[in-house]
A and B are shown apart, each in its own frame.
Chain A
């Protein structure tokens, strides 16, 4: 099945005159994502050793990677050829980023869709929280909003379509699900995903200039259920600027 979802050869797609998208498959699947990560690593290596221009901006996604360039300075055809050559040569790379344990409060106030998800799946709310916290999610990509992670690995038992009518306002730091994917909204925004909880932790902080986004593609995430008091305590520390996100890195053994 996975062999069918990977393209026999990477496809090159034009995103206007200033970006190329190199696509490896059609699905959200670990095998396809591993090709994207392998390609990203090969591009970074080529930029490092000077065989690919550093000014190119390489943006990995679920099943493809988009390379942004300045058409006034970069020859589109030569770049296309080079990208396809690198894509053909690059292999797969298993996700091997950091492991995180991120606190989430699943109280009803923060999780307006949790009860409905539980009911439609024939589960108790506690069982849903258990599924959410026992799963190790993988960060497939960041996109949509600064620091917004798309997390793969949601159990099939929680597979629900998006809301028929998106909310106009999803509160910042909401944890949400749609299909087989989980996500966290770093910012208040409109959104159609189902809201299952909220984290007190900032997922994007421009003051952390070396690493403004907490998560990176390839990272693994477990949600850790916390009660209102623990949530409030961490929230207060974050507001004071007195919370080091490295506290959330999980011990590797058994993670």
Chain B
């Protein structure tokens, strides 16, 4: 009794991601998961999914997806839009932050992502097999996702069949609000490996994301950070997404979701959890500044972010998509019973 989506066009480097794969770092397995967990949570909220339900992460060109069986609902999150092509050939746009319902034979074309990464959430989450506690794709060790790799044409993604009213969609009037300004960090664990000048540059000057980036991390261009007498190497210790390593070149590397579990370069600072999603949204050429905060400020930022998201979720409203007759009004007026939408087989009231 599940729904099934077929990948008609894979897009570029589209992967299944969820809240990540904690619990295995002691055997070297990266956390992985969404580059922007906050955006993933917002996209999932439109479908009533758990915040960390598995979705498709789209870094560049989006995929084209066809409902094969079951009526399935999808939602787009991020700077992206799509269009729904019904089995009969009618076309309507699917903006971000709107759900859309696919009947068997319907196709969703997801466009290119204008900035950062976007998510295609599906009702109930993408139900690929769980591996080591997560559905997140980790390419290097072929874990999770669809056979541990990016989507390919012909892949079939199980998901939940829609049980609610297929004519009633959901939307938010605006993108969820998020903090702006410098990316907030907590200094350390090896800020004592840097000169006072290096710390001043790191916190005072802008850096630019270089072309050298992937899901593991991004190299930043800007003022080189000088190591103190303690040097540019440490005995390898634990790292985490958001850690900012500085190798001998002095140019920082900000680690992202797929980062290794340990590293041998001094870490000048680590991005706080509330800003990890904003870090994950950066693309080559983007400017980035850092600001040092206390643990207390980091906790407040996380609370503020959760409250903002909850407020936004509270504002999600239902709507009838254009071209779909207002079923309730029709029933209320007792004018018709039967076909409600000219281009679709009638699925019957739920």
Are these two chains actual partners, yes or no?
A: yes
Q: Which residues of A contact B (CB under 8 A)?
A: 13-19, 21, 23, 26-28, 57-66, 68, 71-72, 76-77, 141-148, 150, 186-187, 189, 204, 206, 209, 212-213, 216-217
Across-interface contacts of A77 in B (CB, < 8 A):
295
B26 contacts the other chain (Cβ, under 8 Å)?
Answer: yes
B-side residues, CB < 8 A to A, are 22-30, 131-132, 138, 140-141, 143, 185-190, 235-240, 242-243, 260-263, 267, 270-273, 295, 298-299, 302-303, 306
- Per the bound structure, the CA–CA distance linking A144 and B236 in Å amounts to 9
| Contact of A17 with B299 in the complex, beta carbons under 8 Å | yes
Contact A71 B299 (CB under 8 A): yes
Cβ contacts under 8 Å, B298 to chain A:
16-17, 71
A63 to B298, CA, bound (A): 27
Contacts of A64 in B (CB 8 A): 237-238
A189 (CB) vs chain B CBs: closest residue: B140
Known: A68-B240, A143-B262. A15 touches B189 (CB 8 A): yes
Asked if B295 and A62 make an inter-chain contact with CB atoms under 8 angstroms apart, the answer reads no
Inter-subunit contact A143/B273 (CB<8 Å): no
Are A141 and B295 closer than 8 Å at their CB atoms? no
B267 contacts which chain A residues (CB < 8 A)?
Answer: 15
User: Once the chains bind, are A16 and B272 in contact (CB under 8 Å)?
Assistant: yes
In the complex where A15-B243, A147-B28, A213-B27 touch, is A63 in contact with B143 (Cβ < 8 A)? no
Q: List 22 A-B contacts (CB under 8 A).
A: A13-B188, A14-B187, A15-B189, A15-B243, A15-B270, A19-B270, A26-B235, A57-B25, A59-B25, A59-B238, A61-B235, A61-B262, A62-B236, A62-B237, A66-B240, A68-B240, A77-B295, A142-B26, A143-B28, A146-B27, A212-B24, A217-B26
Please tell me which one of the listed residues B143, B240, B260 contacts residue A19 in the complex, with CB atoms under 8 A apart.
B240
By beta carbon, the residue of chain B nearest A19 is B240
A204 surroundings in chain B (CB, below 8 A): 27-28, 141
Task: Tell me whether A209 and B132 are in contact (CB under 8 A).
Answer: yes
Whether A58 pairs with B240 at a CB distance below 8 angstroms is no
A interface, by DSSP: helix, strand, loop or mixed? loop
- Which 10 A-B pairs give the minimum distances between C-beta atoms? A66-B238, A143-B262, A16-B270, A13-B189, A17-B298, A213-B27, A142-B28, A146-B29, A146-B141, A59-B25
Task: Name the distance in Å between B33's Cβ and chain A's nearest Cβ.
Answer: 13
Inter-chain contact B237/A66, CB cutoff 8 Å:
yes
Q: Which residues of B contact A26 (CB under 8 A)?
A: 235
Q: Is the CB of B238 within 8 A of A19?
A: yes
Please pick, from A15, A18, A145, A186, the residue contacting B260 in the complex, using a CB distance under 8 A.
A145
Q: Is the CB of A72 within 8 A of B270?
A: no
Which A residues are CB-close (under 8 A) to B260? 143-145
Docked-complex contact A28 and B235, CB < 8 angstroms: yes
Q: Are B26 and A145 in contact (CB under 8 A)?
A: no
Say yes or no: A59-B261 contact (C-beta < 8 A), given A68-B240, A145-B28. yes
Chain A residue with minimal CB distance to B25? A59
Set of chain B residues within 8 Å of A16, measured between Cβ atoms: 185-186, 240, 242-243, 270-273, 298
Given contacts A68-B22, A206-B132, contact A61 B238 (CB under 8 A): yes
A-B contacts besides A16-B298, A62-B236, A146-B27, 17 pairs, CB < 8 Å: A13-B188, A15-B189, A15-B238, A15-B243, A17-B270, A17-B273, A21-B237, A62-B237, A66-B238, A142-B26, A145-B141, A146-B24, A187-B141, A204-B141, A206-B132, A216-B27, A217-B26
Q: In the complex, what distance in Å separates the CA atom of A26 from the CA atom of B237? A: 11
